[in-house]
Amino acid sequence: MMDIDEESSSSPSAVSKFFTGISQRYQTILDKTVPFSTGRWVFTFVLAAFYLIRVYFLQGWYIVTYALGIYLLNLFIGFLSPRIDPAHEARNYYEDDDEDEDPGLPTKNDEEFKPFIRKLPEFKFWYSGCKSFVIATTCTFFEMFNIPVFWPILVMYFIILFVMTMKRQIKHMIKYRYLPFSYGKRKYKGKSEDVSTQ
């Protein structure tokens, strides 16, 4: 009797095999989309446009839209932030908190170069954004999420929150001298070697 129980608990059930197979196929599809960042973001903007048009014509679900905006703002701040915060690094390197000695990007040849690594990578930012639009769109099909609220107050509060958060993030970027985007940065090319076969 004990052997039968041990075998049934150690072998995966048909249901778990089914869901494992589905999750593996889903992950394979996601992995294939990694190199196509432009197509992924176009798809996300289509999802966003569909959601906004739906909310506009339904004239409701403002709380869901506000929650979606706060979540996307949080994702965007994670996307702009470095994985290792220079402010915490400064406290570890220096005993005294002098403003002039905070670590930043190297400005001399003998300083160590540390590339910018995001707290939230681009793929995870895209994936979380897509999931949030799908969940928000799904919420618009249920009347219980349509809580009556005076929406101009939510819009004003979101704008104030966005401006304050981005102001703090930009000050952090200026203080620690990092730029989270590669657009406008110099690109160095290696030596081109002409190898002729004889």
Whole-angstrom distance, CA of residue 101 vs CA of residue 107: 13
CA dihedral 52, 147, 67, 138 (to 10 degrees): -60
User: What average pLDDT does this structure show over 52-67?
Assistant: 94
Q: What's the rounded Cα separation, in Å, for the pair 176 and 170?
A: 10
Question: Would you state the pLDDT for residue 56?
Answer: 94
Of the chain, the percentage scoring pLDDT greater than 90 comes to: 52
Q: What is the pLDDT of residues 104-123, one digit of tens each?
A: 555 566 555 566 778 889 99
State the CB neighbour count (10 A cutoff) for residue 3.
Answer: 7
Alpha helices in 33-150 (DSSP H): 37-58, 62-80, 86-93, 122-139
Q: What percent of the chain is modeled with pLDDT above 70?
A: 71
Instruction: Give helix then strand counts, H and E, for the chain.
Output: 7, 0
Question: Pick from 145, 166, 158, 137: which is nearest to 77 by CA?
Answer: 166
Distance, in Å, from the CA atom of 45 to the CA atom of 60, rounded to the nearest integer, reads 21
Tokens of residue 127, six digits: 């994936």
Residue 97 binned pLDDT confidence (cut-offs 50, 70, 90): very low
Interval 147-160: pLDDT, tens: 999 999 999 999 99
Does residue 88 or residue 167 have the better pLDDT? Answer: 167
Higher pLDDT, 44 or 82: 44
If one counts every other C-beta atom within 10 angstroms of the C-beta of residue 60, the result is 18
Choose among 119, 41, 36, 116: nearest CA to 76: 119
Say yes or no to pLDDT of 12 above 90: no
Long-range contacts of 23-27 (CB under 8 A, 24+ apart): none
Q: How confident is the model at residue 174 (pLDDT cuts 50, 70, 90)?
A: confident
